[in-house]
Structures are given as structure tokens and as C-alpha cells.
Amino acid sequence: VFYVIFLCLSKPGGYWFLICLLVIPLVVFVVRSIGRSIQQKAQKSLTTSTSLNTIAVENLQSARDIRAYGLQQRESQRFAAASAEGLRIQSKLVRYEKALSPLIEFSAALGIALAVGVGAGIGFKFEEILSLITAFYIAYSPIKRIGMISAQINIALPSLARLEEVLNARVEVADAPDARPLPKVKGEIEFQGMSFAYGEEVVLEIGQLKIPAGQSVALVGPSGAGKSTFVNLVPRFFDPQKGVIKADGHDLRTLRQADLRANIALVSQEPVLFDETILENIRLGKLGATDDEVREAARLAGALEFIEAQPQGFYTRVGERGMRLSGGQRQRVSIARAFLKNAPILILDEATSALDTDTERSIQESLAHLMVGRTTLIVAHRFSTIRDAQRILVFAEGKIVADGPREEVYQKNDLFRRLWDNQAQGLGMNENSHC
């Protein structure tokens, strides 16, 4: 290339040939401009693809409700509209991508044509013109390759940016650099001057509260009063903005999260089951547990009868989200998992609210057995689940407004008495049902 430049400058009027090289910046400009457009279209394509996937997942998960409300046509139209938008954007992206190569080829051909024309006009010999054409080819070839690579990079950039956003997302709760291991705890829980807020809104404030090891505590109150926030703070899913939460006298922030959560079992309203066998779903409570240990946990949870009635017993696959099992069966698998974990702290978060009355009654027996000897936090709107709780905490507007045995709280707190009486009337209980 340097030889060609020297050759051009050594000829009278040769500098005109060098003007042909100005086509190279034009190619660079074309590559960058189209590259930006490709990146913008790729970002839109990623967004529409995400939206399309969301609609598909929603429809698959809500198929029963969609049929019940006759929404098939509406959802089909919504999916078709999202598909059409995705196809339109993807088509534009492909057109931009495919247009890049011809534009680079055209620019290169233009440069070569100018080189031949100018070279012949100023008296270059054939072999000199051939050298100049070769130089152009050598110069343009890498530019073309860079242009095509640039197009692929611009297509990938939005996905990479999204991945980086996820990887760099601020972790709400992280282990301290000097976090200490935690052996098995007794189960004492203590809140000291604690305040927690979502953004600027304070949703829970607790001055001083101690729950002795082994005590069962029911958390009662209207929706949004702070009950779920309370139980989410105990496994340290969040950290309070002020104050301290302790387990057996240890500040939770000084402990390793894995060790803390190894001491806590959770039974929630919607048990999480994976598309594996019943055996493996129960074994999640204690990885490495023997088959005999899993079987004993199932027996304690009252799940053995229905499991053995399955076509393949413990080796029956439960389907996605456990959909091959009934609600009561899924809950018993979740309870068996908690039995197997054998943690000193138990959280029952609306554990029976999605079940019918008969199923709930039978599940209650298993839960009562599970609660023995464990510190138990019970979140419930249906008060049939809190009859055996040793202590009641009444929440209202982010504060604990009553604390004590059920009979005492019933007598002293209007909110609890009203909630209890409303449910007692609905269930046909007698007027002494609170005693």
C-alpha cells in the first residue's frame, strides 16, 4: 500500500488518484450508520420477543381461566398482534443487515472504477494500474469483513446489555465480608428498634419484640398491614433500614445467609414443585437424604397414602409446578419437605388458604405435628389455622397493635375481635368460639 502511495505521488497528477482513497471513509461512514440502525432494530426486536414470550407464558399458565371467561379469541388476537409486530421489526432488522454487504461492495467497486479511470487518464501503465487495483482490494477486504462483523456485534449488543444489567443488578442482601457461620439455632427471634421501608414508604416498624424458641405465633391483620414483610425479614430476604433482627442473639447481618436459611423451613400458599419425581421434590428439604428418610417425612406429613396410590409411587413425576397433583397433595409434599428439613424455625405463609375446608382440616393435623418444638410464624387470613397458636400478634398500618394469648387479645383489641367474629359468623361458630 505504501508502495502504491509512493507510485501515485511520483507520477504527474498522481495525487488525483489518492482522492479515490477517500471512498474508504465513505465506507466506514456507511458501516457505522447502518450499524447504529441495526442496533436500534435489534433492541426493538429483543423487546418484542420478550413481550411475545410473556404473552405465551401467561396463556399457558392461565389456560383454565381463559377458557372459563371465554377469552380465547381475545388472547389469540393479542398473541397475533405481538407476533406481527415482532415479524415487522425482525424483517427490518434483516433488511438492514443484508443491505450492508452490497453497500460495501458498491463502495469498493466505485473506488476501483475511479482508480482505473484516473490511472488511465494520467498515463499509468497496465501493471501499475493492476497494482493499484490490488491495493484497493487489499484495503477494502478488511473493511468489508469488519463491516459484517460489526453488524453481528450490533445485533448481539442489546442482549449483552440486558445480560450485563442482570449481572450487575444491585444485590439487595449480601453476606458481609466477615460473615460468620451459624450452627443449628434454638429458634429465638428478636426485633430491636426495627424499621423497614419500600422506597420512601415505611411499611413496618417494631420497637421491641422477642419470640422465645419453640413458641407458635400467629400474625393477624388486614392485607398490607406488614405480616408478609415481617416473615420475609426473618430469613433475611430483605434488610431493615434501621434496627436489628436477631436469631439466638446473633445479628442476622453478621451471619452467612446459607446457614441462616438452613435453620428455617417454609410452607407457603403456593408450594413450589419442580417437574421431577415426588421423591426428588421432597428431598429438596435435605439434599442427600436417603429414600427411607424421605419416606418417613412423607408419612409424618400424611402424604404416604396418596403417594403410594400413584402409578409409580415416589417415582411419579409431578409435572410442571406440580400440576399433576391436587392442591392438597402439593401442600402435603411441601409439608413433607419441611419435615425432612427439620429446621428449628418454621414459617407458614397462608399455608392452607388455597384449600377447601375438608382438605384444610386434614392438612391442619399434619401442620400441628410439624409445629411441635419449633418456633412457628403463622400468617393467616383464615383463623381456623391459628387456633393452636400460643401467641397472637395483631398488625395494623405497619405496626403491632396487640400482642398476647388469643383470649386476652380477643378481649382487649377491637380489630382482632371484629376479624374473629366476622369469620366465626361465616363459619357458623357459636358465640363462645373464641374461648
Note the pLDDT tens digit of each residue in 191-208: 999 999 988 888 999 999
Return the pLDDT at 168: 63
Averaged pLDDT, 374-384: 83
CA–CA dist 388, 370 (Å, integer)? 12
pLDDT of residue 430: 43
321 pLDDT band (50/70/90 cuts)?
confident
What is the rounded (10 degree) CA torsion for 236, 240, 245, 251? 80
Q: Where does 248-366 show beta strands of DSSP type E?
A: 250-251, 264-268, 345-349
Instruction: Work out the percent of the chain whose per-residue pLDDT is above 70.
Output: 81
Mean pLDDT value across residues 211-240: 90
For position 24, what pLDDT does the model report? Answer: 66
Give buried/exposed letters for 363-373 (b at 16+ CB in 10 A, else e): bbebbeebbee
Q: Residue 434: pLDDT above 50?
A: no
Q: What is the DSSP string of 5-22?
A: HHHHHHSTTTHHHHHGGG
CATH class of 189-426: alpha beta
Residues 6+ positions from 32 with CB-CB distance below 8 Å: 150
Whether 264 shows a pLDDT value over 80: the answer reads yes
Under the banding of pLDDT at 50, 70 and 90, the label for residue 292 is: very high
Closest of 337, 340, 343 to residue 262, by C-alpha: 343
Whole-number pLDDT of residue 132: 67
C-beta separation of 194 from 227 below 8 A? no
Per the prediction, the chain carries an average pLDDT of 80
In this structure, the strands spanning 345-349 and 375-379 are: parallel
End-to-end Cα separation, the chain, in angstroms = 99
* Residue pLDDT, tens place only, 232-247: 999 998 899 999 999 9
Residues in Cβ contact with 49 at an 8 Å cutoff, skipping those fewer than 6 apart: 86
The three cell numbers locating residue 27: 465506507
Give 29's Cβ-side CA count (13 Å radius): 6
Q: Helices (H) and strands (E) in the chain — how many of each?
A: 15, 10
pLDDT band at 122; cut points 50, 70, 90: low
Q: Which residues are 211's β-sheet partners?
A: 189
Pick the more confident residue, 267 or 147: 267
Are the beta carbons of 231 and 377 closer than 8 angstroms?
yes
Of 15-24, 139-148, 405-414, 426-435, the range with the highest mean pLDDT is 405-414
pLDDT value at residue 224: 84
Mean pLDDT across 18-31 = 67
CATH topology of domain 2-167: ABC transporter transmembrane region fold (1.20.1560)
Task: Label residue 344 by pLDDT band (50, 70, 90).
Answer: very high
CB-based burial of residue 225 (10 Å sphere; 0-12 exposed, 13-18 middle, 19+ buried)? buried
Average pLDDT over residues 350-378: 77
Q: Provide the phi-psi class of 380: left if phi over 0, else alpha when psi is between -120 and 50, else beta.
A: beta
Residue spans per domain, the chain:
2-167, 189-426
Other beta carbons within 10 angstroms of residue 267's beta carbon come to 24
Position 215 confidence tier, pLDDT thresholds 50, 70, 90: very high
Residue 433 scores a pLDDT above 70: no
Q: Is the pLDDT of residue 125 over 80?
A: no
User: Looking at the DSSP assignment, which residues form a beta bridge with residue 194?
Assistant: 206
Q: What pLDDT does 139 receive?
A: 64
Highest mean pLDDT among 170-174, 202-206, 417-421: 202-206
Paired strand residues for 247 = 189, 250
* Site of grid cell 491495493: 135
